[in-house]
């Protein structure tokens, strides 16, 4: 990754839905062959009464090794949970702040984010990742 990123004037927003008992890892932010992405937020919305645990992994597409991850419990039905700002998420994702004090996480061009729900979940849920692209 370059020492100085150049804003491309392109934001991104990716929403990923999970079906009932979706306990396998699912890509929530696809790799981009060209651009580094600056993530500003990751939210989780649950549409079932269970409160599953969500595990987020940052994967290097070369080795498919989880570079870092967070695991956090979510809240109840139809309540949005801020995974980016959760206690475990903030420890990973909010280490850097831009000139306006907004926390962010840069993910290299070829890397992805995955999410996995806990085994006891029967939730239908969605995760929303948003940010900007940089060259």
pTM of the model: 0.78
The per-residue pLDDT for 129 is 92
Q: Which fold has domain 11-134?
A: Jelly Rolls (2.60.120)
Distance CA 75, CA 24 (A): 20
Q: What is the pLDDT of residues 39-58, one digit of tens each?
A: 999 888 877 666 777 778 88
Q: What is the pLDDT of residues 71-99, one digit of tens each?
A: 776 666 777 888 888 877 888 788 888 88
DSSP state of 1: -
Q: What is the pLDDT of residues 5-16, one digit of tens each?
A: 666 668 888 888
Residue 19 binned pLDDT confidence (cut-offs 50, 70, 90): low
Q: What are phi and psi of 118, to 5 degrees?
A: -65, 155
Domain extent listing, the chain: 11-134
């Amino acid at each position: 990754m370059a020492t100085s990123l150049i804003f491309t004037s392109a934001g991104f927003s990716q929403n990923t839905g999970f079906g009932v008992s979706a306990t396998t890892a699912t890509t929530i932010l696809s790799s981009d062959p060209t651009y580094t992405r600056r993530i500003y937020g990751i939210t989780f919305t649950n549409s079932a009464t269970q409160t599953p645990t969500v595990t987020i992994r940052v994967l290097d597409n070369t080795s498919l090794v989880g570079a870092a991850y967070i695991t956090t419990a979510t809240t109840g039905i139809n309540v949005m949970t801020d995974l980016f700002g959760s206690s475990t998420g903030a420890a990973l994702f909010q280490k850097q702040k831009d000139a306006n004090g907004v926390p962010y996480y840069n993910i290299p061009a070829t890397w992805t984010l995955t999410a996995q729900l806990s085994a006891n979940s029967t939730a239908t849920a969605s995760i929303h990742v948003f940010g900007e692209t940089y060259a």
